[in-house]
Structure 1
Amino acid sequence: MTSTLSLRCVEPLDYERRHAVARWQGEGHPVRLSQPSPQARYLAFRAEGCHGHWQGMIGAREWMQAVGPQWSQWLLREGVGQEILDLFSAVSRPVEIAPQLLDYQRLFEFRLIQGEALQGACLPCIGTPQSDLWVLEGPSQRKQVSRPLQPWLHAVPQALRIVLGNSELARLPYRQLARGDVLVIAEQTRQLFMADLCIGQFTFVKEGLHMQLTPPDNLLPGDPGVLAELPVKLEFVLGELTLSMATLSACIEGQVLPLEPTAASNVEVRVAGKCIAVGELVQLGDRLGVELREVGRGMGNE
C-alpha cells in the first residue's frame, strides 16, 4: 500500500479549453481543438464584448491574403511587423465571428506571435471567412444558456417541504412548550420549498393541495428551465466498507483505513443517496476533482 494516493493531474487551462470546445459543439458551433503551426506567424489580440474579455489570434498570412492580397507579399516579408499590426488595428471589424459564439465591440493590445512559441498547445479553433481563429483565453463572463433537464435527471430525488407558516416564540406564553398546548400559526405563508428555495405556494382544495409554482427571475411558468435552476447537492463517495465495531475502532485508533486499489478510479457522484455518475479522482490544479466517465448511471442515459 502506498503512503499517499497517486492521482492523475489535469491541467486547469487544458481542461477549460476542452470544456469550452465541448460546450460550443453542444450548441451547434463548428469548433475544434487544434495545434497552431510552429512555422507560421499569428496576429494576437485582446477582445472586449458583452461576455467580458477574451484573447485570440489569427494567421497573419491567411488574414493578409483575405483582406489585402495586393499587399500580402510585401507585408509578410521578414522584419515587417508593425505595418501588419497597424493595418489589422485600422480595420473596424478585422475578423467576422458568429455573435452567438464569440462577440466583440473592440480589439486592443495587438502583437505578433511566432507559432513555435505555442508549440504543443492545443487551442479551441474557430473557422472564420478570413482565417482560422484560435482562442488563447475564453470569455471572462461565461454565457448562461437555460436548458431543459436531461432525461435521466428527472429520476433524481428532491425533498419537497410544505410549509404552512410561522410564529415567533417570543409571543408564546412564558416561552415554554407543554403537552396539550395549541400553537397559533401567526403568519400563514403556505409556501413550497425545494433545495431550501421557495418554488411556489399552495392552497387547500377538496382533493388535497393545489400547487402554484413561482419560477425564478426571467423564466415563465411552465418553462422547462424552472426546475433546472434549483441547486442539487452532490456527494462524492470514494468507497464504502463493511466493518465490525472492533475493526473500526482499530482503524480510528491507528488512523489507517484500507481502500480498494481501484477506489480512486471509481468515485461515485450521488444525489440523495442515488448514484448519478461515476468518475476518476484527479488533481485539477490545486484542487481535487472527479472526471466523469459514466453519467446517468442506472437512471436511463440520454
Structure 2
Amino acid sequence: MKSILAVRNVATPDYERRHAVARWQRDGHSVRLRQLEPQTRYITFWAQGSQGLWQGMVGAQDWLQAVWPQWSELLPQKCASKDILELFSAVDRPLDIAPDLLDYQRLFDFELDHGESLQQAYLPCVSTALSDLWVIGVPSHREQVSRPLQAWLQAVPQTLRIVLGTSELGQLPCSQLMLGDVLFIAAQTRQLFMADRCIGQFTFIEEGLHMQLTPPDSAVPAVPCVLSQLPVKLEFVLGELTLTMAQLNDFIELQVLPLETVTASRVEVRAGGKRIAIGELVQLDDRLGVELHEIFRGVGDE
C-alpha cells in the first residue's frame, strides 16, 4: 500500500488538540486553535483533575490584570513576571474553568516560559472569565458521556439475533448426521443478541415473542439495556471493482488488481452498508486511520 498510496503522517499531539477543540466546541464552549503571542511571558503548569493530567499556560500579565488590576500597576516591570508566578502558585483556585470542560483539583510544577518551542504550534485557547488559557497537553483520558442518538445514526441498521439455546459440539453426532435426524437443544437460553452482545431475553406468547431488554446477567436487573451504547461495525472502503464471474474464476495467487482511480484521500466509511463519511488515509504513530473530511448526517447530504 505504501508504494502506491501517499499516506500523510499526523502528529499525535496535533491530532489530540484538534479533536479536543472540536469536542469542546460541540459542547458549547468558547475554544479555538490559536498560536501563542510573541514577546509574551507565560506561566506554565500541570493540572490534576477527574479526567487525568493536563498541561496549560496563561499569560502572566494578562492573568494579573484580570484578577488584581490595581496590583499590576504597583509591581516593578523588571520583576513582575517572577512576582506574578509566586502569586499564581499561591492562589488556591487561580483559574475559573467550566468543570465539564477542564476541571482540576490542584495545580503544580509552575514555571515561567516564553513559549519559543510552541510558537509555531496551534494550541487550544480557552476563553475564561479571567484570561485566556492555552492547553498544551489535553487530559490523559476523558469521561464517556452518553448522548442521545442523532437522527441520521438511528437509520444505521443493526441485526437482532434470536437464539433459542445451545448444545455442545461433543453432544452432536456431526459426522453421522442424516436427513430426518433431530438435534436437541441442551440449554434453552432464549437470548437476544445485537452487535454480539446479549441485550435481553424473550418468551413465547400467543402474539409472538415477548422481549425483555435487560441483560440476564446484569447486576442491577431494574436498569434497562442502553441500545444506543452498542457498538456499530465500521467498514473502510478504499475502492470498488465490478468483475464478472469469469474474472473471479480466473483469480490466481499473487495476482494484482488494477486500482488506477483509487486515492488515499477518498476512503469511504460505511456502517451497516451505508456510507456515513469520506476521509483521507493517514498514518497516526504506528496505526493506519482515516481522517474524516465529509460526514453525511442525512439523506440530503449525500
Query: Aligned pair count?
Result: 298
Aligned residue in 2 for 1:151: 151
Aligned residue in 1 for 2:209: 209
Change (3 A) 1:40 1:280: same
Aligned residue in 1 for 2:38: 38
Deviation, structure 1 residue 131: 0.7
Change (3 A) 1:253 1:173: closer
CA separation in 2, counterparts of 1:29 and 1:297?
22
Q: Which runs of 5+ in 2 are unaligned?
A: none
The answer (yes or no) to whether the contact 1:275–1:297 under 8 Å persists in 2 is: no
Deviation, structure 1 residue 217: 8.4
The AA in structure 1 aligned to 2:30 is P
* TM-score (normalised: structure 1): 0.86
How do residues 68-83 of structure 1 correspond to structure 2 at under 5 angstroms?
68-73=68-73, 75=75, 77-78=77-78, 81-83=81-83
CA separation in 2, counterparts of 1:187 and 1:159?
23
The answer (yes or no) to whether the contact 1:51–1:143 under 8 Å persists in 2 is: yes
The answer (yes or no) to whether the contact 1:38–1:118 under 8 Å persists in 2 is: no
Q: Identity of counterpart residues, as a percentage?
A: 66
The answer (yes or no) to whether the contact 1:37–1:116 under 8 Å persists in 2 is: no
- Three-state SS of the structure 1 residue aligned to 2:17 is helix
CA separation in 2, counterparts of 1:296 and 1:145?
22
The answer (yes or no) to whether the contact 2:60–2:85 under 8 Å persists in 1 is: no
- Three-state SS of the structure 1 residue aligned to 2:124 is strand
How do residues 97-112 of structure 1 correspond to structure 2 at under 5 angstroms?
97-112=97-112
The answer (yes or no) to whether the contact 1:152–1:300 under 8 Å persists in 2 is: no
Change (3 A) 1:248 1:188: closer
Per-residue deviation, residues 243-269 of structure 1 (Å, max 9, x unmatched): 467867998566533223453222111
Q: Which runs of 5+ in 1 are unaligned?
A: none
Aligned residue in 2 for 1:284: 284
CA separation in 2, counterparts of 1:200 and 1:300?
35
CA separation in 2, counterparts of 1:33 and 1:260?
37
Aligned residue in 2 for 1:233: 233
CA RMSD of aligned residues (A): 3.1
The answer (yes or no) to whether the contact 2:61–2:81 under 8 Å persists in 1 is: no
The AA in structure 1 aligned to 2:224 is P
The AA in structure 2 aligned to 1:221 is P
The answer (yes or no) to whether the contact 1:270–1:277 under 8 Å persists in 2 is: yes
Deviation, structure 1 residue 296: 2.9
CA separation in 2, counterparts of 1:247 and 1:23?
47
The answer (yes or no) to whether the contact 2:5–2:263 under 8 Å persists in 1 is: no
The answer (yes or no) to whether the contact 2:238–2:262 under 8 Å persists in 1 is: no
Change (3 A) 1:231 1:254: closer
The answer (yes or no) to whether the contact 1:46–1:107 under 8 Å persists in 2 is: yes
Aligned residue in 2 for 1:58: 58
Per-residue deviation, residues 57-79 of structure 1 (Å, max 9, x unmatched): 11100112223334435656345
Compare 2-11 and 166-175 and name the one that shifted more: 166-175
CA separation in 2, counterparts of 1:288 and 1:53?
27
How do residues 119-130 of structure 1 correspond to structure 2 at under 5 angstroms?
119-130=119-130
Change (3 A) 1:20 1:252: farther
Per-residue deviation, residues 31-85 of structure 1 (Å, max 9, x unmatched): 1111110110111100001111111111100112223334435656345654332
CA separation in 2, counterparts of 1:178 and 1:76?
97
The AA in structure 2 aligned to 1:136 is I
CA separation in 1, counterparts of 2:266 and 2:146?
30
CA separation in 1, counterparts of 2:298 and 2:36?
41
Aligned residue in 1 for 2:188: 188
Deviation, structure 1 residue 299: 4.6
CA separation in 2, counterparts of 1:51 and 1:131?
22
Deviation, structure 1 residue 116: 3.3
Change (3 A) 1:108 1:25: same
Aligned residue in 1 for 2:96: 96
CA separation in 2, counterparts of 1:103 and 1:217?
31
Change (3 A) 1:22 1:76: farther
Change (3 A) 1:146 1:300: farther
- Three-state SS of the structure 2 residue aligned to 1:265 is coil
The answer (yes or no) to whether the contact 1:270–1:276 under 8 Å persists in 2 is: yes
Aligned residue in 2 for 1:221: 224
Compare 245-254 and 235-244 and name the one that shifted more: 245-254
Compare 8-17 and 108-117 and name the one that shifted more: 8-17
Deviation, structure 1 residue 290: 1.3
Per-residue deviation, residues 111-159 of structure 1 (Å, max 9, x unmatched): 1110433211111111122210011111111121111222122222221
Deviation, structure 1 residue 109: 0.7
Per-residue deviation, residues 87-116 of structure 1 (Å, max 9, x unmatched): 211100011111111110000011111043
